[in-house]
Structure 1
Amino acid sequence: MSIRNGRRKSRQSALSYETGYAAGRSHGYRTGCCQTVLQSVSPPVYPVLPLRVLYIRQGFEAIDRGVEEALSALVSEPYTGNPGDLYRLASELRPDLVLVMNGLHVFPENHLEMVAQIRAQGIRTAVWFADDPYFTDWTPSVAVQYDYVFTHELSCVELYRQAGNPRTHYLPLAASTAIYRPMAVENRYHSDICFIGNGFPNRIGFFNEITPFLTRHRIVIIGALWERLAGYEKLAESIRLSWTPVDETVKFYNGAKLVINMHRGAVDPVYSKNARNIEGRSINPRTYEIAACGALQLTDIREDLALYYTPGQEIVPYASAAEFVNLADYYLHNEAERNRVAVRGLHRTLRDHSFRSRLFQLLNTVFPGESI
Structure 2
Amino acid sequence: MKKTIKKKSPSKQAQNKWILNEVKKPLNKKLQPVKHTLSANRPSTWNELSLLRDVQQSREITKKRPYKRMNLLLVAPDHPMPGAPNEMLLEEQLKHLVRNVTTIRSAQPLAEQLSRPDLDLILIIGGEEALSDESTDALNNTPVRKVLWLSDKEKPFDLDSRTVSLFDYILTQQMAHIPVYRALQCRNCSCLPYASDSGMYFPRPVEDRYKSDLLLIGNAEPGSILHSFVFSDLPADEKVRVCGRGWETFPSLIIIPPDEDLAPYYNGARIVINCSGSLVQTLDVAACGAFQLIQQHSELTPFLEAGNWITFQTQDEFADKFLYYRENVDHRRLAASRALADNKYNHSFLQKGIQLLDLVFD
TM-score range, shorter chain: 0.5 to 0.7
CA distance in 2, matches of 1:112, 1:258: 50
State how far apart, in whole Å, the 2-side matches of 1:175 and 1:354 are. 7
Partner Cα separation in structure 2 for residue 140 and residue 258 of structure 1: 44
Partner SS, residue 349 of structure 1: helix
1:120–1:367: structure 2 CA closer, same or farther, 3 Å change rule? same
Give me the whole-angstrom Cα distance separating, in 2, the residues matched to 1:221 and 1:161.
35
Give unpaired runs (5+ residues) of structure 1.
1-25, 265-282
**In 2, Cα distance between the equivalents of 1:337 and 1:167?**
42
Q: Assess, with a 3 A threshold, how the Cα gap between structure 1 residues 290 and 240 changes in structure 2: closer, same or farther.
A: closer
* CA shift for structure 1 position 149: 1.6
Match status 1:258 vs 2:279: no
The alignment yields a C-alpha RMSD, in angstroms, of 4.0
What does residue 74 of structure 1 align with?
97
Counting helix residues as a fraction of each chain, which structure ranks higher?
A: 1
Equivalent residue of 2:333, what SS?
A: helix
CA distance in 1, matches of 2:73, 2:172: 19
Larger RCO of the pair (alpha carbons < 8 Å, separation 6+): 1
Q: Does 1:337 align with 2:331?
A: yes
Q: Secondary structure at the match of 1:244?
A: coil
**d(CA) in 1 for partners of 2:148, 2:221:** 29
Shift of 1:133: 8.1
Counterpart for residue 56 of structure 1 = 76
2:124 is aligned with what amino acid? Answer: V
- State the shift of 1:144 in Å: 2.9
The alignment partner of 2:96 has SS state of helix
Q: What is the letter of the counterpart of residue 328 of structure 2?
A: N
**1:292 maps to 2:292:** no
Q: Is the 8 A contact 2:292 2:310 kept in 1?
A: yes
What secondary structure does 2:196 align onto? coil
Identify if the C-alpha distance between structure 1 residues 96 and 180 changes in structure 2 by more than 3 Å, giving closer, same or farther. Answer: same
* Whole-angstrom CA distance in 2 between matches of 1:112 and 1:327: 55
Q: In the TM superposition, what is the alpha-carbon distance from 1:99 to its structure 2 partner?
A: 1.7
Which secondary structure state, in structure 2, belongs to the residue aligned with residue 52 of structure 1? strand
What is the alpha-carbon distance in structure 2 between the residues aligned to residue 203 and residue 256 of structure 1? 25
Q: Is the 8 A contact 1:132 1:156 kept in 2?
A: no
Aligned twin of 1:126: 147
**Alpha-carbon distance in 2 for matches of 1:308, 1:69:** 23
Equivalent position amino acid for 1:67 in 2: L
Contact 1:253 1:295 (C-alpha < 8 Å) held by counterparts: yes
Q: CA deviation at 1:139?
A: 7.0
Question: CA 1:335/1:124 → structure 2, altered by over 3 Å: closer, same or farther?
Answer: same
Output one character per residue of 1:194-220: Cα deviation in whole Å (capped at 9) or x when no partner: 246xx7564996654333506542222
Q: Which amino acid aligns with 1:209?
A: S
Q: Does 1:101 align with 2:125?
A: yes
Measured in 2, the distance between the counterparts of 1:350 and 1:52 equals: 24
How many residue pairs align between the two structures? 306
SS of the residue 2:341 aligns to: helix
Distance apart, 1:191 and its partner CA: 1.8
C-alpha contact 1:144 1:160 (8 A) present in aligned 2: no
CA contact (8 A) 2:111 2:135 kept: no
Normalising to structure 1: TM-score of the pair?
0.66
Segments of structure 2 that go 5 or more residues without pairing to the other structure are 1-11, 29-33, 43-67
What is the aligned counterpart of 1:211 among 218, 221, 230?
230
Shift of 1:82: 4.2
Residue aligning to 1:8: none
CA distance in 1, matches of 2:237, 2:356: 46
The Cα shift of 1:127 comes to 1.0
- Provide the residue aligned with 1:240 in structure 2: 256
- 1:330/1:314 Cα in 2 relative to 1: closer, same or farther (>3 Å)? same
Question: Distance in 2 between the 1:111 and 1:175 partners?
Answer: 30
Q: In the alignment, residue 123 of structure 2 is paired with which amino acid?
A: L
